[in-house]
Structure 1
Amino acid sequence: MNQTNADRMEAACSLLAESERRFLLYQLADDRTANLEDLIRQVAVWELDAHAKTIDKEVRQRIYVSLVHNHLPRLEDYDIIEYDLRSGDIVLAEGFDDIKPLLEQFRQTEEKPEIRERPPL
């Protein structure tokens, strides 16, 4: 493995090490596009193992800040997603195909059966 491939693999593992980032990518992988509000709701459900109706405004705000100021820009920097903060629209970009096999491996090791049992990416 040359240094470029090793660097890309290390970056992919680093990106997928964070659960919120994996959770939003699982949802995007299933649908190819998503709205920020929908992603916040789904990430909260999986992160807290709770029903969407029980997640309060404070939790949604924390996840919003985390996604907007950390996870979404980082994924966009690696060409994995494209997003428009004004509209809230998020789509997969060309770089997603590079991490898709690794993301599927991560999905199969998740503790939550509702994540593992979804159809393969």
Structure 2
Amino acid sequence: MQRSSAERMKVACTLLAESERRYLLYQLADDECATIEGLIDQIAAWEEGVPEDEVPKGTRQTLYISLVHNHLPRLADYEIVDYDLRSGDVVLAEGFEDVKPILEQFKQTEEVPEIRERPPL
């Protein structure tokens, strides 16, 4: 289904309002593909402000549930990512190009210095 530019912009802003979705996309923009577990480790570390190996187990479990039941399906509905729960693989899809410019703007305002310092998407 073709969406107007205004509709794509509205959808992108709505989707990117959630930090977990932005963090997921920042990581995928660098790697183009990842595993759910790898994404959880990085997203949780950014959210907690600690190294990946210091993220509490409960935080990882909560984030897994959130990614699998909320964030990944929403991003997949708009063809921004594709994922396979059986293999755990997550990849960028064609729709990523629609949100990429807005994601870059969000990146410049993130509180996590490591995110702001990353190369352009």
Which interval holds the TM-score relative to the shorter structure? over 0.9
Tell me the CA shift for residue 64 of structure 1.
0.1
Could you say what secondary structure the match of 1:30 adopts? helix
Shift of 1:10: 0.7
CA distance in 1 between partners of 2:9 and 2:97 (Å): 13
Aligned counterparts of 1:9 and 1:33: Cα–Cα separation in 2: 24
1:34 matched residue in structure 2: 34
What TM-score do you get using the length of structure 1 for normalisation? 0.95
Residue equivalent to 1:119: 119
Task: Identify the residue that residue 52 of structure 2 maps to in structure 1.
Answer: 52
- The equivalent residue for 2:77 is 77
- Give distance in 1, aligned partners of 2:67 and 2:22: 11
User: 4+ residue stretches of structure 1 with deviation over 3 A?
Assistant: none
The equivalences for 1:15-30 within 5 A come to 15-30=15-30
AA aligned to 1:60 is R
Partner amino acid, structure 2, of 1:88: G
| Cross-structure match for 1:99 | 99
TM-score in terms of structure 2 length:
0.95
* 1:30 alignment partner AA: D
Shift of 1:4: 2.4
Matched ranges for 1:58-73 at <5 A: 58-73=58-73
**Structure 1 residue matching 2:100: 3-state secondary structure:** helix
C-alpha offsets along residues 59-100 of structure 1, whole Å, 9 cap, x if unaligned? 100000000000000000000000000000000000001111
Percent identity for Structure 1 against Structure 2: 66
Q: Distance in 2 between matches of 1:65 and 1:43?
A: 13
Between the aligned partners of 1:112 and 1:59, the Cα distance in structure 2 is: 18
CA distance in 1, matches of 2:4, 2:39: 32
- Separation in 2 of the partners of 1:14 and 1:53? 31
